A and B are shown apart, each in its own frame.
Chain A
Amino acid sequence: MSKIGVFVCQCGNNIAATVDTAKVAEEAGKLPGVVHTENCRFLCSSPGQQLVQEIIKTNGLDKVVIAACSPHMHEKTFRKASEAAGLNPFECEIANIREHCSWVHEDPTKVIGTDKSIDITRMTVERVRRNGPLDKIKVPIRKKALVIGGGVAGIQAALDIADGGHEVILVEKEPSIGGQMAKLSETFPTMDCSQCILTPKMVEAGQHPKIKLYTYAEVESVEGYIGNFTVTIRKKAKSVIEELCTECGECTTKCPFYAPNEFDSNMARRKLIYIPFPQAVPAIPVLDRAHCVKYVKDRKKCGVCAKVCGPNCIDFDQEDAFVTEQVGAIVVATGYEVMGVERFPEFGGGRYKDVITGLDFERLASASGPTGGEITRPSDGKAPRRVVFIECSGSRDESKGVSYCSDICCMYTAKHAMLYKHKVHEGQAYIFYMDIRRGGKRYEEFHRRAVEQEGAIYLRGRVSRVYERGGALVVQGADTLSGSQVEMDADLVVLATAVVPRVGAKDLAKRLGISYDGYGFYNEYHPKLRPVETATAGIYLAGACIGPADIPTSVAQGSATAGKVLAMFSADELTREPIVAEVNSATCNACWDCETACPYHAIQREAIKDRAGNILRFAAKVNEGVCVGCGVCVAACHSKTIDLRGYSDAQIYAAICAV
């Protein structure tokens, strides 16, 4: 039989004014198993807590009920005090007779408050009778991080974690890190050259002793849980033995064949063995097997690259390799794409060569781009006298499936107008817009420059269509401020197409076990208070994979995730609350309702074996490193095989029966 102590607090007048605490203590004393009661003025005070501890020790109590304020207030306080007196903290329960009773039933005769307090205390006594000791769960941590995505957000996260003293694996699916930022010409609002500010970070990441770079690689599978992830990475075959390559570039120079360069939006060519751009990190070339004659036609053909390779590191038979890494945390920084022009047949996208996206325009403007930085028309190479920019192409448009604003287009379109003017002095930029959004630091001032200094003409209205007339493009739209239809010639049309999640984002999310929204952007744990965490413990998010974001935001988020990871790595073990589910594997029917219902994917399948190691059947098993103790699985289980420690069926049943 338990020895329960009940301590009733007067809380000065807060409780005592409307509850006869002596009577509550007296009634509690009549309950079976209650061997001691106290009626105190301020239990949470130092003397109050000392009194509780003394009584626990002298009376040999094994369970304690504190009838006082809300557990949200002082459950921790009293549990700590009980622990100091030798009890397990979970053998102390709080009966809330203040917030839920004395404060809300201010009956001066004290009848109502006392009766209800007696009931609440009794229910708590019956519950605590079924409390058992629970110990915090310790989860070991592997102090190594995985960053998926080598764009600026991923690079920043990797650098910060590595500078914090821990190893990082950075996986990037393109041949080089750099992401979309590497494609940009200049960046708003400072007009820094994108490559100039990015390249030092790329080089640092490539050379950092604590960062291991896997490029032209993808995450194949992820298993495990926070502190203990097992990640399998597929290193796609570059046809180059990386350890031997000296990045001399001979093979790329001597290769006789070309293919369209994806990095330049296919507006220029590259060799078949190539690096995507001059500042690539690593500068290890990749052989494009989709076009190379050796693979497409005949294995005996060509082979020039191998012939000129000094270190002899070309391997035409190289296969994809799989690497397994054990990591403790994962940062997802997989970035974004932009909607392609072919989604805009009304603007001639895909039909007219001179209708391009904003990212394509970046390549034209970029000094290392297909035109060496000259703004020229893709169709004939001539400089355009008039460029029409169409903002909100796809964004804020239900018919294109995108309801949101893409955040960056107003700024980069203004930037494009300025770049264009800098490079084509007699050119004129027209910009069709719906609203101009420039909320960031120095963004407003930047934008005004485009209008006032660079003479960009802004037309508030939408474009209905772009068509060809007499060999020229015609843009038909509206100018709502003047209330007129507008029809104008254009030499080049640039669509600020919507920022969308990358193709394959959902598949990666499924592999990681993180959730995404209807568009495919990844879900944060809480949009305001936990913006870089996911609901899956140990997996963090940075950059545009969360939603459209500019460079400062992406970099800040990259550092933020590093902060989270470094905090986790600062201890040797993760300590988790022991309020977790547990399975009685003897009665599990393996129906997997719990597995389906669990919002955290914390249920695993365990093989039940006989002594010889033969699998007899499967049963559910709770991963205590991931379970957060919501109890959804318990209510889902038909056979009451799974129970929740700390809020067990027995505890709740006892409280209900004592009502």
Chain B
Amino acid sequence: MTRLTRNNLDRWVEALLAERIRVVGPVMQAGQPVYAPISRPSALDFSSVIPRNSIKDFLFPQTETVMLYTIRKTGVEVTDAKPAGGEFPDTVILGARPCDAAGMTSLRAVFTWQGEEDPLFLERLARTTVVTLACVRGDACCFCTSVGLAPDAPAGSDLLLRETVDGNFSVEAVTDKGTHLLARWAQYFEEGAETLRPVIPPPVIERSNVEKMLGWLSDPANYSHEVWSEHAAQCLGCGACTYVCPTCHCFDLTDEGTAYQGDRRKNWDACQFDHFAAHASGHNPRALQSQRWRNRFMCKFHFYPTKFSAAGCVGCGRCIRVCYVGLDIAEMMEKVSACADRQVPDA
């Protein structure tokens, strides 16, 4: 197998940095694992189950300028925003988890839907290589195995690393981009056999079934089922789940500036916010938190597969970890699957 020793990984990272390639990986900040750009290989820390944020931060940032405008007597002049330095940085994300990588596939489906291409996202993606590190274990919140993924699923990855018992990594090229990367930095990769670390995949949520849920959610009659309000009373609409989710992609465009010039920014938005769906007339079709929670769930398990032909949920479990009042999407999956069961005749 192709392998990458830990030492070579460090040296490879140094080489990448020397080429002014941005390297993003899991680090510890204030005791918490986060994905962040690094300036030296010793910052990398692969020991956590999963970093707090997802890698979407580096492809679809929380806030970015889309264009600049100047209001003149003769009209409004508009120029496209250019990233600092003229181009988006070449990036290697080193140590993404498979669920995060799969999330990027879903995002790409959104940002190329029906031929409408988001150049900002696609530019960044084109310049980013995703080197995924497969998991050896999950924690109580992981459930990738319940949504059709696995601790070593390759979706969205360019290279896939697996941990060996000696502290090194096996390397698999998944895409052409990954193959090119291996070729370019061949001096750090070698052939050799090692034993992979044993993997304990997260247990499948027993009573949850994604296909059944899709069927039930697709039935308009279930739109007003009481399961939504039963479950959602404690939600406070803080949006934390949206912000950490690898597949959540809604954004808001806003103009900011002084009287005669400014920029148009693209900022993360969340369907959990009170006025997300509000109309200019003042009418808010999702005025209740339960309606907003329903929207989130349906987006993940119905709109996404139906509309974008991609997975809406990758089972990373971040939303469960970060929820301030203990809402658990896995619990909801069980509930909705149970509803679907009850509706099946002779069940």
Contact = CB atoms under 8 A, between A and B. Distances in A.
Interface of A: 30-32, 34, 122, 126, 586, 654, 657-658
A657 B258 contact: yes
A126 B260 CA distance: 10
A654 B258 CA distance: 9
Interface string B269-283: 000000000000010
Contacts of B73: 30-32, 34
A658 B72 contact: no
B313 to A, nearest CB: 35
Q: Which 9 A-B pairs have the closest CB atoms?
A: A658-B259, A657-B259, A657-B258, A586-B282, A32-B73, A32-B71, A126-B259, A30-B73, A32-B72
Nearest to B76: A32
B59 to A, nearest CB: 33
Contacts, number: 15
B282 A654 contact: no
Contacts of B258: 657-658
Nearest to B258: A657
15 contacts: A30-B73, A31-B73, A32-B71, A32-B72, A32-B73, A32-B260, A34-B73, A122-B259, A126-B259, A586-B282, A654-B259, A657-B258, A657-B259, A658-B258, A658-B259
Dominant secondary structure at the B interface: loop
A34 B72 CA distance: 11
Interface in B78-124: none
A34 B260 CA distance: 14
Interface in B274-316: 282
Nearest to B260: A32
A443 B72 CA distance: 75
Given A126-B259, A654-B259, A658-B259, 12 more contacts: A30-B73, A31-B73, A32-B71, A32-B72, A32-B73, A32-B260, A34-B73, A122-B259, A586-B282, A657-B258, A657-B259, A658-B258
Nearest to B262: A657
A586 B71 CA distance: 33
Nearest to B283: A586
A122 B73 CA distance: 13
Instruction: Report, as a range, how many residues of chain B touch the other chain.
Output: under 10
Nearest to B282: A586
Nearest to A584: B282
Contacts of A658: 258-259
A235 to B, nearest CB: 49
A27 to B, nearest CB: 11
B106 to A, nearest CB: 36
A122 B72 CA distance: 14
A166 to B, nearest CB: 46
Contacts of B259: 122, 126, 654, 657-658
Contacts of A654: 259
A356 B82 CA distance: 93
A32 B71 CA distance: 7
A586 B73 CA distance: 36
| Most chain A CB neighbours (cut-off 10 Å) among B71, B72, B73, B259 | B259
Interface string B245-262: 000000000000011100
A34 to B, nearest CB: 8
A206 to B, nearest CB: 59
Contacts of A126: 259
Contacts of B282: 586
A547 to B, nearest CB: 51
B72 to A, nearest CB: 7
A658 B260 CA distance: 8
A658 B257 CA distance: 11
A223 B150 CA distance: 72
Interface string B141-176: 000000000000000000000000000000000000
B179 to A, nearest CB: 53
Contacts of A30: 73
Contacts of A122: 259
Nearest to A123: B259
Interface string B33-74: 000000000000000000000000000000000000001110
Nearest to A29: B73
A534 B57 CA distance: 62
A657 B259 CA distance: 5
Contacts of B72: 32
Nearest to A33: B73
A514 to B, nearest CB: 38
B77 to A, nearest CB: 11
A639 to B, nearest CB: 12
| Most chain B CB neighbours (cut-off 10 Å) among A122, A654, A657 | A657
Contacts of B260: 32
B263 to A, nearest CB: 14
A122 B71 CA distance: 14
Contacts of A657: 258-259
| Most chain B CB neighbours (cut-off 10 Å) among A32, A586, A657 | A32
A31 B72 CA distance: 7
A5 to B, nearest CB: 14
B256 to A, nearest CB: 11
Nearest to B75: A32
A122 B258 CA distance: 13
Nearest to A30: B73
A26 to B, nearest CB: 12
Contacts of A34: 73
A30 B259 CA distance: 14
A122 B259 CA distance: 10
B70 to A, nearest CB: 10
Contacts of A31: 73
Nearest to B281: A586
Contacts of A32: 71-73, 260
A234 B73 CA distance: 68
A657 to B, nearest CB: 5
A381 to B, nearest CB: 82
Nearest to B257: A657
B66 to A, nearest CB: 21
Contacts of B71: 32
B227 to A, nearest CB: 27
Nearest to A126: B259
A586 B282 CA distance: 8
B199 to A, nearest CB: 52
A654 B259 CA distance: 7
A134 B282 CA distance: 24
Nearest to A129: B259
A564 B71 CA distance: 53
A658 B71 CA distance: 12
A621 B62 CA distance: 39
A406 B260 CA distance: 64
